């Protein structure tokens, strides 16, 4: 070995005779034996960066000297020692845990993480595609891919085999959009219900379930006709939590239509009556869509009530999230540009808006072509 060097705060870094750089992390002594962890790279900067990642993992409680793990063992460590401490939202962590418990561990959990192959993952996802929607398979793949990316980062495996698999076609995953007439049926069924205005505003504003329930009256200005999305209500870890919006773009200001203003006004009147009925039991926490005693509304209760109302409206296929999708679809169909739709819905990227509403854009392209024929077409 030649060219041994040590950078300040980096640990032991040196260059081998074959030109490859090595960084060595001392893990201490166990049973009279000194434990070390080596990482390799083409340049000094490469191994210094990898060594920094190892230090960070060590601080997070990852046992870098542990024996090779099965995928089940790594997923458990990944969830509890890495994702639980890196700022991952509790609701997102809950979804990861569900995918790991129900899908990944039963099918792939016994395989050593360093022995997992592209073929293993491909066969698993192909089989899932026969019983699950393309969107469901994509979510399972995303969790596995993220977990293996961190395994690569900590040099438990040399590559992320999940990156090389081919997912089932998502062509059949296009969701049905309720027609305006079907939305009117839903509104009629919800009329007079204490949660009816939630469903109306889901269509008018395109807010997510947690964003609607996370609205406080201080977030809504009916005179100036705007609201600000600041918080969401979520159930995670067995608790009801007040959280920040899903992404940076999710925290947004939305202009209110007159229809939305009237919906908020009706909700204010309804809530005033509930406050009187509750008397001293009322807890004034400022929620727009509070429970009958002023506390946050349980998201699952909202979903259960929606299922009842959609049944009354004869729309058993409709999902609560479809109302948000309908909002975006109607806006684009009415000529609102995609950038504005992205801001209204709080999408994290413009690409997401493009992909979600490609079917609507196809219709607009036909309309544009027809308009050109009317303007310049030959008789």
* Token pair belonging to 278: 């509750």
Task: Quote the CA–CA distance of 92 and 83 in Å, as a whole number.
Answer: 10
Task: Quote the CA–CA distance of 245 and 229 in Å, as a whole number.
Answer: 7
In a 10 Å sphere around its CB, with 0-12 CB exposed, 13-18 middle and 19+ buried, how is residue 376 labelled?
Answer: exposed
Which parts of 191-257 fold into alpha helices (H)? 196-205, 209-213
Task: Quote the CA–CA distance of 218 and 220 in Å, as a whole number.
Answer: 6
Task: Quote the CA–CA distance of 51 and 57 in Å, as a whole number.
Answer: 10
CA dihedral for 299, 261, 321, 314, sign (positive or negative): positive
* Token pair belonging to 323: 């109302």
Give the CA radius of gyration of the chain.
Answer: 27
pLDDT tens, 100-153? 999 999 999 999 998 899 999 999 998 888 777 777 888 899 999 999 999 988
Q: Which of 298-307, 313-322, 347-356 has the lowest mean pLDDT?
A: 347-356
If we measure between CA atoms, which residue out of 313, 312, 304 comes closest to residue 181? 313
Which pLDDT does position 174 carry in this prediction?
54
More confident site: 13 or 282: 282
Task: Quote the CA–CA distance of 96 and 77 in Å, as a whole number.
Answer: 13
Which pLDDT does position 368 carry in this prediction?
55
Angle between the 196-205 and 320-333 helix axes, to the nearest 10 degrees? 40
| Residue extent(s) of CATH 1.10.443.10 domains in the chain | 180-320
Res. 69 pLDDT band, cuts 50 70 90: confident
The SS3 of residue 230 is coil
Q: How far is CA 32 from CA 28, 29, 35, 36, in A?
A: 10, 6, 10, 13
Task: Quote the CA–CA distance of 325 and 348 in Å, as a whole number.
Answer: 15
| Residue extent(s) of CATH 1.10.150.130 domains in the chain | 71-173
Write down the pTM of the prediction: 0.62
Fold annotation for 71-173:
DNA polymerase; domain 1 (1.10.150)
Determine phi and psi for 292, rounding to 5 degrees: -75, -5
* Token pair belonging to 45: 């900067």
If we measure between CA atoms, which residue out of 201, 338, 215 comes closest to residue 288? 215
Q: How far is CA 114 from CA 74, 97, 354, 356, in A?
A: 10, 21, 37, 36
- Most confident option among 91-100, 150-159, 292-301, 332-341: 292-301
Task: Quote the CA–CA distance of 235 and 23 in Å, as a whole number.
Answer: 43
Q: Are 354 and 338 in contact (CB under 8 A)?
A: yes
Architecture of the domain made up of 180-320: Orthogonal Bundle (1.10)
* Token pair belonging to 71: 């995928």
Whether pLDDT at 171 is above 50? no
Res. 172 pLDDT band, cuts 50 70 90: very low
């Amino acid at each position: 070995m030649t060219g041994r060097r040590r950078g300040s705060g980096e640990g032991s870094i040196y260059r081998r005779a074959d030109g490859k750089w090595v960084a060595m992390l001392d893990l201490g002594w166990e049973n009279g034996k000194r434990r070390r962890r080596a990482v390799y790279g083409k340049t000094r900067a490469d191994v210094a960066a990898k060594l920094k990642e190892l230090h960070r993992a060590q601080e997070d409680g990852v046992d870098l000297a542990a024996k090779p793990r099965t995928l089940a063992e790594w997923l458990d460590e990944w969830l509890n020692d890495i994702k639980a401490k890196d700022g991952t939202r509790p609701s997102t962590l809950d979804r990861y845990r569900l995918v790991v418990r129900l899908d990944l561990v039963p099918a792939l959990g016994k395989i050593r993480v360093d022995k997992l192959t592209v073929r293993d993952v491909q066969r698993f996802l192909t089989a899932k595609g026969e019983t699950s929607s393309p969107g469901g398979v994509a979510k399972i793949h995303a969790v596995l891919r993220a977990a293996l990316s961190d395994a690569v980062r900590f040099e438990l495996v040399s590559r992320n085999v999940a990156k090389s698999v081919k997912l089932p076609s998502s062509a059949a995953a296009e969701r049905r959009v309720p027609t305006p007439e079907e939305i009117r049926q839903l509104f009629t069924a919800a009329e007079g219900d204490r949660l009816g205005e939630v469903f109306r505003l889901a269509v008018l504003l395109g807010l997510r379930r947690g964003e609607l329930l996370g609205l406080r009256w201080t977030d809504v200005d009916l005179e100036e006709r705007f609201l600000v999305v600041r918080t969401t209500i979520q159930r995670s870890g067995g608790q009801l939590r007040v959280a920040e919006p899903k992404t940076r773009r999710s925290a947004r200001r939305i202009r209110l239509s007159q229809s939305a203003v009237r919906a908020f006004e009706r909700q204010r009147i309804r809530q005033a009556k509930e406050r009187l009925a509750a008397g001293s039991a009322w807890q004034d926490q400022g929620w727009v869509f509070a429970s009958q005693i002023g506390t946050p509304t349980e998201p699952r209760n909202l979903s259960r009530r929606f299922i009842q109302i959609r049944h009354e409206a004869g729309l058993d296929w409709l999902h609560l999230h479809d109302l948000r999708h309908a909002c975006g679809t109607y806006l684009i169909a009415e000529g609102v540009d995609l950038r504005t739709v992205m801001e209204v819905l709080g999408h994290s990227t413009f690409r997401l808006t493009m992909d979600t509403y490609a079917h609507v854009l196809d219709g607009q392209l036909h309309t544009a072509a027809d308009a050109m024929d009317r303007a310049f077409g030959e008789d």
